Chain A
């Protein structure tokens, strides 16, 4: 049986570094991320190239997807978040496409690597701090002391708020990466079960139908999880940005 964790190994495609004298090499993860970025750029630009008033199917699809992110941002951040919608949309499309690309058998799921999600989560985290400080100055730290709380409670509440604030990038990153990783491990494990049954003698090998049904079910589930986790990551990004923009 192949190790179900082997699919997550980051391998350089060749031993020659991209920048001579360093150890930066082109890995399978990087290739998938570049590929998805290029695909998204061309797909989106191609989809809306006509700028038709009455959209074709592809343009309508992109418009509806954009509308989804726009609604999310408007509901959570409000009108002040309008400037951020394109960035949030880019983040959403990037994660969704990476997740879905990971569903193709034999592909590499870049979002299952905590480093991928952590970079995005940390970008959101520092954006929140920078935008908050730029918009509200030192008042931004009032985020840790909710208004209308009696003074004795503040001694407990403020450290809690600070911890929960600084823990955000970790939970944000781990939630997506762990979900993607767990799903892909389950896929590989069920595929191994199919092989295990088939290796049996005689009628028992037909038992492979059962794990195959499970494999199919998990494939469906994983597509849903891929879409859902990208949405959740985007939603949490909106929630965190809302703190910076609206300050409660």
Chain B
């Protein structure tokens, strides 16, 4: 039992464990650690790249959004222009039509006035003729003699002028 608890033996046993452990640590340090750090660095790089790509994609998307907004604004302005143009065209057309209609109406009114005047003149002419005839007949009855139509016409004119 004395041998089992001998401190010298215990220390030497632990010593060999230390040697073996240190050898393992050295091998780990030389071969395993580089692999491990490589993996860890690769992971960090991967994350960094992913972040960069995400940032790039974000800027790209923002630019695209801006472009679309610009295009939308242009399109809206164009549409507004088109509407304004169409309204103006429509107004112009309406004004033109109104003018044409007015001209037509005034022309028609003129024609009507002219035809009324003609009818008036014709009526006047007929009246005059009738009056001449009546004058001739009346004078024949009163004077008992014939009166040439020229004189009769003169009288009739005089009478009509008085009427007028």
Contacts and interface: CB of A to CB of B under 8 A. Distances in A.
Contact of B37 (A57, A105, A188, A191): A57
Given A220-B24, A223-B24, A2 B44 contact: no
Interface in A41-69: 53-57, 60-61, 64
Contacts of A6: 4, 10
Give chain A's interface residue range (CB within 8 Å of chain B).
20 to 34
Interface in A14-33: none
Contacts of B29: none
Nearest to B47: A54
Interface string B67-81: 000000000000000
Secondary structure type dominating chain B contacts: helix
Given A2-B4, A195-B13, A64 B21 contact: no
A215 B20 contact: yes
Given A2-B4, A55-B47, A223-B24, A105 B40 contact: no
B20 to A, nearest CB: 5
B48 A54 contact: yes
Nearest to B23: A216
B16 A212 contact: yes
A187 interface: yes
A195 B16 contact: yes
A200 B48 CA distance: 60
Interface in B1-30: 3-6, 9-10, 12-14, 16-21, 23-24
A64 B43 contact: yes
B51 interface: yes
A55 B43 contact: yes
Interface in A198-239: 212, 215-216, 219-220, 223
Contacts of A54: 44, 47-48, 51
A46 B48 CA distance: 22
Contacts of A106: 14, 17-18
Nearest to A105: B17
Given A1-B3, A1-B4, A219 B12 contact: no
A116 interface: no
B23 A56 contact: no
Interface residues of B, number: 26
Contacts of A192: 13
A180 to B, nearest CB: 15
B48 A105 contact: no
Interface in A61-112: 61, 64, 103-106
A194 interface: yes
A192 B13 CA distance: 6
Contacts of A187: 17, 20
A61 B43 CA distance: 10
Contacts of A2: 4-6, 9-10, 13
A209 B28 CA distance: 21
Contacts of A215: 16-17, 20
A216 B24 contact: yes
A57 B47 CA distance: 12
16 contacts: A1-B3, A1-B4, A2-B4, A2-B5, A2-B10, A6-B10, A54-B47, A56-B44, A60-B40, A61-B36, A64-B43, A187-B20, A195-B16, A212-B20, A219-B21, A219-B24
Given A57-B44, A60-B43, 19 more contacts: A3-B4, A53-B47, A61-B36, A61-B40, A105-B21, A106-B18, A187-B17, A187-B20, A188-B13, A188-B17, A191-B14, A191-B16, A191-B20, A195-B13, A212-B16, A212-B19, A212-B20, A215-B17, A219-B21
